[in-house]
Amino acid sequence: MKGMLKWPLIVAAIAVVLRVVVEQYGAPDAVANYISVVALHLVIGPMYFAIRLATSGAPRPYGTLIKLVALYVVLTRVMVLPTYWLARIYNWPQQRFGGLADSSPLTGFITIPFATAGRWIVASLVFGGIAGSIVIAIIRLFNRKPEPA
């Protein structure tokens, strides 16, 4: 499981840093939105894990998928938290940080970042778990060996 997380987490870390750099250099929101950590932990990560698990012949792929998605989404959201704190400190204008600049310290540093993380964790577990399970089932269905007659 640990080896399967290495590269997706490296990609997520690069995406977090790259998104902040792109935003701070003034790229339009439409451009910055292409560098999406949410897309990584909501869709791309679960699909990657599902394909790897289905093709590896893992004994309990569905349970392992849920564990991998949960760990991946929590770790990626932990990487995103400092960007919310920096946005609060430096009053970054991006819409994804809406309300941070005018909020109280408790709301700006704790409530908004952790509530956002919580929503994305739940959404990624539900959507990623369902979509990944479907992918595992389809791959396993087509990779079945015919039974001898």
Per residue in 87-143, pLDDT (tens digit) is: 999 988 888 887 787 888 998 899 999 999 999 999 999 999 999 999 999 999 988
Give the contacts of 74 (CB within 8 A, at least 6 positions apart): 121
What average pLDDT does range 10-29 have in this prediction? 94
Instruction: Give the single-character DSSP code of 50.
Output: H
Give dist(CA 65, CA 86) in Å, integer: 33
Residue 91's identity, in one-letter code, is N
Q: Please state, for a pLDDT cut of 70, what percent of the chain lies above it.
A: 95
Domain that holds residue 72: 2-142
Instruction: Kindly state whether residue 18 falls inside one of the protein's structural domains.
Output: yes
Helix ranges (DSSP H) in 91-111: 105-106
Instruction: Kindly state whether residue 149 falls inside one of the protein's structural domains.
Output: no
Entry pTM: 0.91
Instruction: Kindly state whether residue 87 falls inside one of the protein's structural domains.
Output: yes
The pLDDT assigned to 97 comes to 83
Which backbone phi and psi does 74 adopt, to 5 degrees?
Answer: -65, -45
- Given pLDDT bands bounded at 50, 70 and 90, which one contains residue 146? low
- Given pLDDT bands bounded at 50, 70 and 90, which one contains residue 58? confident
Give the contacts of 127 (CB within 8 A, at least 6 positions apart): 42, 43, 46
Structural domains in the chain (count): 1
Instruction: Kindly state whether residue 147 falls inside one of the protein's structural domains.
Output: no
